[in-house]
Amino acid sequence: MTTDVQDKGRHVKDVSAEQSTPVISLEQVQIRLGKQIIQENINLSVQSGEFVTILGPNGAGKSTLLKLLLGLIKPSAGKIQVLGKLPHRGNTDIGYAPQHRTLEADLALRARDVVGFGLDGHRWGPGWPNRKRNAIIEQALEEVDALHFANAPVGQLSGGEQQRLLIAQALLTNPRLLLLDEPLSNLDITRGQEIVALVNHVCRARNVAVLLVAHDINPLLNVVDKVIYVANKRSTIGTPDEVITTESLTRLYGSPVEVVKALGRMFVVGAEI
Ligand SMILES: Nc1ncnc2c1ncn2[C@@H]1O[C@H](COP(=O)(O)OP(=O)(O)OP(=O)(O)O)[C@@H](O)[C@H]1O
C-alpha cells in the first residue's frame, strides 16, 4: 500500500512496500494500430528510480510505447502492468510530458499558469484551495529551476525554458513514473545537457522511474541505467554497453549496422536513426 508522508517539506510517497513491484512490466506484448503491427514481442521491466532512454528511428514506435503505458492504446497481445496494475487513463502515478513544439511567441499565458494546467482534473485542481495549489506549483517551479521566469509570458521563453515547464507540469502529482517524449529535440548541446542533468537529478532525488524518448544516445550515455532500442517492429533493453553495440543492433535491425566510437561519441552507422 502507498502512504503519503512529508519529507523536509516536500510531499513524497512512502513506496517502501512497493519497491519489489516493477514500475513497468511487459511480457510478449504486441501493439497493432489499425491493420499495422507496430511492435511485437516486447519484453521489458523497469524498476523504481531507473533512468531509461528509448531510442530508435523515426516511426519505430517510441511514442506509441508511451501511449501504451498511459492506457491510451491497448496491446493486441501479451501482458502489461504499470505499478502492478493494468494501464489506465488519468493515472496520477504517471507524469507525462508529450512531444513539444515551440509555443507561439505571442502566447500571453504566464509560465506558472502553464505549469498549473498539470493539476487540472486532479486533487488540487480548480475548486481546491488556492494556497495549496499555488504551493505545489511553486515547489515544482523551484525543482526545475524556473522560478526566475515564472511570471514571464510563456511564448517568449526559450525552448529549454519551455521544456523545464513541461517537466514541472509532469511532476505536480508526485508521480512514480515519468514519461518524457523527446525533451531534447530542438535544443542546442548545452541546453540539452542542462535538461539531462535536471532529469537525472529528479530521477535520483525522487526515486521515480524515468522513460525519456530521444534520438541521440550521446548526451545520455553517462547518466542512463538502461536503453530501450526500438527498430524493425522489435525492441531490446539493457545497459548502454549491452545495447549500443554492432552485434546487438545488427540483430535488432536484421541488417548490418555498425556502432562507431569517435571523439568520445557513439554513432550508429548503416541505420536511419
Ligand atoms: N492511430 C494510428 N493508426 C495507425 N498507425 C499509427 C497510428 N498512430 C501512429 N501510427 C504509426 O505507428 C508508427 C509508430 O509511430 P510513433 O509516433 O510511435 O513513432 P516514433 O518512434 O515515436 O517516431 P518519431 O521519432 O518520428 O516521433 C508510425 O508508423 C505511425 O505512422
How many A from CA of 143 to the centre of ligand 1? 32
How many A from CA of 24 to the centre of ligand 1? 21
Residue nearest to ligand 1 atom 27, measured at CA? 58
150 — pLDDT class (breaks 50, 70, 90): very high
Task: From 30, 64, 70, 233, give the residue whose CB has the most ligand 1 atoms within 8 Å, as the site to mutate.
Answer: 64
Q: Which residue has the higher pLDDT, 15 or 118?
A: 118
pLDDT given for residue 121 in this prediction: 63
Atom of ligand 1 nearest to the CA of 73: 1
Other CB atoms within a 10 A radius of the CB of residue 37 amount to 14
ipTM: 0.95
pLDDT given for residue 122 in this prediction: 63
How many A from CA of 62 to the centre of ligand 1? 8
Average confidence (pLDDT) over 108-133? 77
All three cell numbers of 114, joined, read 502553464
Other CB atoms within a 10 A radius of the CB of residue 205 amount to 12
Strand 24-33 versus strand 77-82 pairing type: antiparallel
Tell which residue, 219, 218, 211, has the closest CA to residue 235: 211
pLDDT given for residue 119 in this prediction: 80
Integer CA distances (angstroms), 132 to 55, 116, 125, 171, in order: 38, 12, 10, 15
Q: Which residues of 109-127 are buried (b: 16+ CB within 10 A; e: fewer)?
A: eebbebbbebbeeeebeee
Domains of the chain as residue ranges with CATH: 3-239 (3.40.50.300)
At 153-174, the pLDDT tens digits run 998 999 999 999 999 999 999 9
Residues with CB under 6 Å of ligand 1 are: 33-34, 36, 38, 56, 58-64
Q: Supply the pTM of this predicted model.
A: 0.89
DSSP code, position 182: S
Tell which residue, 138, 200, 201, has the closest CA to residue 172: 138
How many A from CA of 58 to the centre of ligand 1? 8
